[in-house]
Amino acid sequence: MMISITSGKGGVGKTSLAVNLALALSPEYKVLLVDADLGLANVDIMLSIAPKVTVKHVLLEGRSIREAVVEGGYGFHVLPAASGVVELVQPDSDMKGALELGLNELASSYDLLLFDTGAGISPAVLWFNCLAGYTIVVFTPEPTSITDAYALIKVLYRDYGQKNFLLVANQASQKEGEQYFLHLKKVIDSYLGANPIFLGAIPKDPALAQSIRSQKPLLAYHRETKAAKAILEIAEKIKSFIPVTRKNSLLSNS
């Protein structure tokens, strides 16, 4: 099972959501968080880990993909990316082939692979999004973010065959987010025919910004804040998309 987290516009909170979702789901599921922004890694920074082997060593130096997998520190595993490696920004077809093979192999030992992609509609982003069974699109209530989210959904739906979109409104109250979603869904329904699902909204929360600065996931220590509760609710909804064969659960292994 693979789910991607993506956005049309950058800086809308993808990585923060990815890290917290991985944490929220990991007691119940065996989760691998894949830093899918291959050349500009972020997940390692959010988790304050310093991986020695990254996807760079796998794709450019022929190391096995399992060698690169590390503990995230909060119950889930991480496949880290490289920082500032230009060759990885647009992987060529050989790299994509190797990566797809490796990810499929990893998928067999996890309940969920969560891709934290880069923003935009670059070929690498589109590639990860169509590898995933579901695409979570994060947007904030700004015209640019909403327009870019729509453009991304349009390209993925029309040209790349992705049909399953899960939407998250960041920096919006639940009511606001729902309104935005309903209006956006109307446009998507009438012009594209895709049928997006609303996962929820994450309200502005100083605790979230603080958690990013301290390089610790919000859910690791502040489960009672507004944003933390919202993310937990989103995680609950995502569970319904994960197949129930939890043979790989960490709990059953321990």
Partner 1 sequence: MDLERRLKQIKEFFAQNGHKLDPKTGQMIKELCSLCEELYAQASIDFLTGLYNRRFFEKELEINVEKAKRDRSVFSLILIDLDHFKKVNDQYGHLVGDEVLKKVAEIIKKNVRKIDVPARYGGEEFAIILPATGSEGALAVARRLKHNINEILFGPKDNPFHLTASMGVATYRPLSGLSAEEFLKKVDKLLYQAKEAGRNCIITDQEEFVLQREQEGITYEEREALKGVWQYDD
154 binds partner 1 (CB under 8 A): yes
Residue 76 or 139 having the CB closest to partner 1:
139
The rounded distance, in Å, linking the Cα atoms of 245 and 28 is 11
Least spacing, CB of residue 164 vs partner 1, in Å: 15
Joined tokens for residue 177: 């987010």
Instruction: Give φ, ψ of 252 to 5 degrees.
Output: -70, -20
Least spacing, CB of residue 176 vs partner 1, in Å: 9
Question: Mask of contacts with partner 1, 176-215, x by CB under 8 A?
Answer: ---xx--xx-xx--xx------------------------
Region of residue 118 (left: phi > 0; alpha: psi -120 to 50; beta: else): beta
- Candidates 55-63, 78-86, 90-98, 221-229 — which segment interacts with partner 1 by CB under 8 A? 90-98
Residue 29 or 128 having the CB closest to partner 1:
128
- Candidates 79-87, 125-133, 193-201, 233-241 — which segment interacts with partner 1 by CB under 8 A? 125-133
161 binds partner 1 (CB under 8 A): yes
The rounded distance, in Å, linking the Cα atoms of 197 and 178 is 11
Residues β-bridged to residue 41:
none
- Candidates 19-27, 32-40, 150-158, 234-242 — which segment interacts with partner 1 by CB under 8 A? 150-158
The rounded distance, in Å, linking the Cα atoms of 128 and 49 is 23
Amino acid at the residue 118? G
**Tokens 């190391």 -> residue:** 63
For 118, which DSSP code?
Answer: E
Q: Which residues, numbered 5-64, are part of the site for partner 1 (CB under 8 A)?
A: none
Give yes or no for a contact between 23 and 76, defined as CB atoms under 8 angstroms apart. Answer: yes
Residues making contact with partner 1 (CB under 8 A) = 93, 96-97, 123, 126-127, 130, 141-143, 146-147, 150-151, 154-155, 158-161, 179-180, 183-184, 186-187, 190-191
